[in-house]
Every structure is written in C-alpha cells, then in structure tokens.
Structure 1
Amino acid sequence: MIRFMDNIQLIFLSPSFNEVVGDVLRQRLKSSGHLNVVTKPEDLDKVKQLFTKGNKVLAIDPLFCNWTVPNMLISKITNLKAICLMTRSADWVDASFTRELGIPLTNTRDFYVEAVSEWAIMMMFCLARRIPLVAKSGWQQRYGKFQGVEVMGKTVGIIGMGQIGQRIAQQCQGLGMKVQYWSPHTHNDRYWYVSLNKLLATSDVVFPTYRLSAGERMLPGETKLNRLGRKAILIDVVRIDNKDHEFLLRQVAKDKLFGYGFEEDGGNHFDKYKGNVWAGPALAWVTDRAMKLQAESWVESVVQATKGNFPNRVN
C-alpha cells in the first residue's frame, strides 16, 4: 500500500509508553514515520513537539492529560492528520469538533473483552459470598451472618448481547446458570430472549453490558429497577447513569437488594457504603494480555493513519 504521507511525525504522549510498547511495536512505528515520545505529563500547550512544522499523527494516553484535550489546543496544532486514542472510550475528546476540522479520531477496540468479563464474574462471586460484609467485619468467621449463595442453577440476566455480554453469557452457562438476555440490537439464539421488564423481575444476577451514548441511561429508572428482587445481585461494568447508581445503593442499604458491584476511579474502602456493596478500583481491563492487545491496537491505528486508513474511526 502506498504511504499516505512522507516525513510524518508520530507523536506519542503517554507516561506508560516504555512499559506497554515493546521493541517490535516501536520498530513498526519507526518504519512508518518519525517517532517522538513524551512520557512526562505536562500541560499540552507546553509539549513543543505538537507545534513543529510538518504533518503529524497524535497518539495520546488519557493519563498524560487527565482525560482532557481542549478544543482550543487541537485547533492550534497545524497539519494534524489524525488523533489516535489509547482507550476504547472516546468521550474525552470532542468528536464533533474534530470532525468539523476534518481530523479523524480513532480509538482502540476489543482488547478488553476477556479481562472485563472475568472481572464481572469475580464481582458476582464476591457478592454472592458477601465478601464486602466479611471484609467490613474484619474478616470474622460468622456462619449465620455471612451465609452466602451458590450461583449454580441461578438465572442470570444480561442487558446487551455485544462481545462482553456474550462472553459473560458463556461463562455463566459454564457455571451451570440459566442465561436470559435483552438487547436492543444484537441477538443470540443460544440464549433465551426476554423483555427488559421480565429480565429485571426474574433474574437472580443482572449484568448491564450495553454501552449507551453520552446522556442516555443504561437502565430505565426506578420504576423498572424496583422489579429487581430482594435476593438479586446487579453487576455494573459500564458505569450506569448516576441516578440509577444512587437508587441501587439505597436499595442495598435498605436490604431490598442482595448486592451491587461496580468500579469507581481510584477505588474505595468497602465501608464507604452500607450493605453488600462491592466498590472496587477501575481495574477490570488491566491484565497482561489485555494491555498487550491494547498496545497492538493503538500502534496499528497510528500506522494505518499514516496510510490514510482509519478502521477504528469514531467521528
């Protein structure tokens, strides 16, 4: 394939570049353009490599810029041919603004499916065995108070049958659970399709896995969430709407929901929340394999951008 541009600058802004991008990937980058790496986070306005002459592809890690790339900064970078994000999430860069400027915006995809689904299953086991309550007690051995439940034979309800939803379904089926699902787009004949109302009312464990666009709500408010049974567990791996989140916390605190699991940036002690609440750090995707796949996807996005190809374009 013919190169899109000669003498293009590949500007990587990432504190972890040296850890995640190995020699083979670096050589691939060097064969595609002039590689410039900045690992020390600083104000983007002070990154002099962004304001040199010549064509540029910007590859950026959100930890370099605290998940924010101002539109004003983007508008000041001349000859910017693409912005390649290290993450799947792309809402920390203004997609509409970059589209108006004619700058392709790409993300990384598919690297996290196994890692996130396993993390979700781990949260399910922890909540089923009331590990947050055990931890808050100082790990006391109290048989009556900390009696858990077994998941075999239970019904799992999956909201969304995308890649993560399908993988969780496979894992739950392998554990001897009955799998039912609701999905607005993707369907899978191997599992039982039900309405969202029925899923919430009849599932012992619920996994929302359907990622909505900004401003939409994952779950349809308190009216339907009230359908969740007192012995149900809900595991959130997509960061549901804050109103739904607060409602679920109240339900657990009032003993109207068996357990609720989710991630939050920075993590927290279990004793921040009342009841059987698993509130962990945002580490679902952080495994050796997932990080390797992410680096490969990121580098491939940059290499393809130098050729005028943008398979993971989000704008």
Structure 2
Amino acid sequence: MTDRPRVIVTPRSAPGHPSLTRLAQAGYDVVFPAPGRVPSEDEQRSHLAGAVGYLAGVETISRDTLTSAPSLRVISRNGVGADAIDLAAAEELGIEVLRAPAANAQGVAELAVGLMLAAARHIPLAVTAIANGQWTREMGTELAGRTLGIIGCGNIGRRVARVAAAIGMQIIGYDAYPDPQYRQDGFRYASLDEVLETANVITLHAPPADRPLIDDVVLTRTKTDLILVNTARAALVDDNAVLAALNSGRLAGYAADVFDPEPPGETALTRHPRFIGTPHIGGFTRESVDRAMDAAVDQLIDRLDSGRG
C-alpha cells in the first residue's frame, strides 16, 4: 500500500508508455485495472474507490461507476470523444472531464482514406485470393472525379478533405457548425440532404445523435454506387439497414472501424463480402498514441496539481 494519491489508467495502449513516468514523478501512484484490455465495470469500481484521477480509454464510465468513486476529481481521455462517459453525472459530482482534441486526427483521417481506397478497389478480396492461392479479381472504381461527402468537418474531416483533393475528388461537406473561414481546394459546404443524395463516397466524422444518421430511410436516397465509411461512432449507423442495403445492392460497400459492442463477434454484417472491418485502429498509430497520451497525462497532472496542498 502507498500514501501517494492514486491515478488509474485504462487505455489499452497505455502500459509501458513513457509519458506515464511523469505521473509517477509528480507523486501519483499509477494503477492499471486491466492492462492491455478494456476494464469491466467491476474492475473500474474496485480501483476507483480511492483514486483522485482517471486516465480513461474507450470504456463506458457510468453514473454508478462515478458515484462509487468519492475521491475522483478528474477524468482525462486520451482522445477527443467522451460520449462513453456519463457527463451529466460527472458534472453533478464535480468531476472534471478533459479531452485530447486532434491528438489522433491524422491517424483516423489516414485510415478513413485507406478504407475508401480498399472498398473502391476491393483490396481485401484480392489479398484473400492471393493468400489462398487464387487469382480472383473484381472490377474496381477510381476515386478521381468522384464526389466525396464528409459529414463532420472538424480536425479529422478536414484532413480527409486534403487527401481527397490530392486524389482528384470533388468534396462536399456538412457540419452542424460550419467554419466560414475554412478553405480547401475542391471543397465546399453543403446541406446534409445534398451530401446524402449526391456523394459517391460518404465518410462519417460526427458525434453520435439520438438516432442513427444512416438508416433504412436515408439509404433509399443515396446513390446506388455509394461507399460508406465510418471511423467515428458505431451509433451513427444502423447496422441492420446497412446489411439490407448491401444485400439488395443499393450500397456498394461499407467499411467500419467502430462497433457496438467491441469486439462485434461474427455477424451477418462482418461476414458480408462488401463489408470491410478493422478493430478500432483509427488512432492506433505510434504517433497518435504518443500525442494522445502526452496530452492526457499533461492535462491530468495540471488539474490534479492545481488542487494539491
């Protein structure tokens, strides 16, 4: 046991990261409830009981979990999203929630572009064929000259736009709060309806809403050659509607890096030949992890130290 104030650390990529040495040097006891994996709610509660800080990953942090942590003052996320945290409960309990905006933007943007290309050229099918000693090919589509629709034009969406412009795509973007100062060759803002109805490729970079953004009704309005990419939030897409659209041919391809639950297990969607799935690797690059961990640790120390002694 130690008298040092405790900070629990749960991101799967955190164990062994050098930025954590700063927490120890600042006088905090660093504890890993579930090294290398997402902790259960019971594991969170058992380690949070005496903790003052929480460096959090993608796990759900419920009201019940927060109320079981009377000493907790600060939650610092190693990413921008905080929708897995009960923010209302945190505010009521006086727990500050910090984020690391843009830390993983480049990694997610590059993956989104990679998934577009993989879907357009049927790369997973080709790779699997060669690995199995086969010579199976499917006619692909060039993205140059096609229209990319970006839903959510923040740090990630804008990086995707830059790469798409270099490829030669025309880009239209919808954002709930468009930035009138933003300029990018080949890009213009558009209504959500225009994006959904005219884009050949749609990539999602928006926060979740009360209901899925992409559902069966929306998919009757999109182009029949649409490639849909989701590296944002699983809740943005109705998986059953997407599966039906893939089966009917209304949707040319769907690529996702996010699932609910994670891992998703084997489902009709994950087995579909026009589906490409990756295991939440958008921000899982050495550079993104370093930026996110550095920001999360620095913010956590700053806030915790401001209330000490």
User: What is the TM-score of this pair, normalised by structure 2?
Assistant: 0.80
CA contact (8 A) 1:262 1:279 kept: yes
Mapping of residues 161-310 of structure 1, within 5 Å: 161-187=153-179, 188-190=182-184, 191-213=187-209, 215-219=210-214, 221-241=215-235, 244-263=238-257, 264=259, 265-266=262-263, 272-308=270-306
Structure index of larger Rg: 1
Report the alpha carbon displacement of residue 223 of structure 1 after superposing the two structures with TM.
3.0
- Secondary structure, in 3 states, of the residue corresponding to 1:80? coil
Report the alpha carbon displacement of residue 167 of structure 1 after superposing the two structures with TM.
0.6
Report the alpha carbon displacement of residue 8 of structure 1 after superposing the two structures with TM.
7.1
Report the alpha carbon displacement of residue 96 of structure 1 after superposing the two structures with TM.
1.2
Mapping of residues 82-161 of structure 1, within 5 Å: 82-134=74-126, 138=132, 140-143=134-137, 146-161=138-153
Report the alpha carbon displacement of residue 72 of structure 1 after superposing the two structures with TM.
4.1
Report the alpha carbon displacement of residue 94 of structure 1 after superposing the two structures with TM.
1.9
Report the alpha carbon displacement of residue 235 of structure 1 after superposing the two structures with TM.
0.8
Deviations 1:124-158 (A, max 9, x none): 11111123444565473234xx1111111211111
Deviations 1:143-198 (A, max 9, x none): 4xx11111112111111211111111001001111111222212334322222222
Match of residue 71, structure 1, among 48, 63, 68:
63
CA distance in structure 2 between the aligned counterparts of 1:132 and 1:27, rounded to whole angstroms: 40
Report the alpha carbon displacement of residue 260 of structure 1 after superposing the two structures with TM.
1.0
Query: Structure 1 297/131 Cα, relative in aligned 2: closer, same or farther at 3 Å?
Result: same
CA contact (8 A) 2:148 2:202 kept: yes
Deviations 1:72-129 (A, max 9, x none): 4433434432222334332333221121122212233211100001111111111111
CA distance in structure 2 between the aligned counterparts of 1:88 and 1:17, rounded to whole angstroms: 16
Query: Structure 1 192/243 Cα, relative in aligned 2: closer, same or farther at 3 Å?
Result: closer
CA RMSD of aligned residues (A): 2.9
Any gaps of 5 or more consecutive residues in structure 2?
Answer: 35-41
CA contact (8 A) 1:136 1:271 kept: no
- Select between 242-251 and 131-140 the one with higher mean Cα deviation: 131-140
CA distance in structure 1 between the aligned counterparts of 2:151 and 2:194, rounded to whole angstroms: 12
CA distance in structure 1 between the aligned counterparts of 2:66 and 2:235, rounded to whole angstroms: 29
Aligned length: 287
Say whether residues 1:58 and 2:64 are aligned partners.
no
Say whether residues 1:19 and 2:48 are aligned partners.
no
* Structure 1 counterpart of 2:43: 43
Any gaps of 5 or more consecutive residues in structure 1?
Answer: 1-6, 310-315
Report the alpha carbon displacement of residue 11 of structure 1 after superposing the two structures with TM.
1.3
CA contact (8 A) 2:7 2:52 kept: yes
CA contact (8 A) 1:8 1:306 kept: no
Instruction: In structure 2, give the amino acid aligned to 1:283.
Output: I
CA distance in structure 2 between the aligned counterparts of 1:189 and 1:70, rounded to whole angstroms: 40
CA distance in structure 2 between the aligned counterparts of 1:139 and 1:225, rounded to whole angstroms: 36
Query: Structure 1 127/240 Cα, relative in aligned 2: closer, same or farther at 3 Å?
Result: same
Q: Percent identity?
A: 21
Report the alpha carbon displacement of residue 40 of structure 1 after superposing the two structures with TM.
4.7
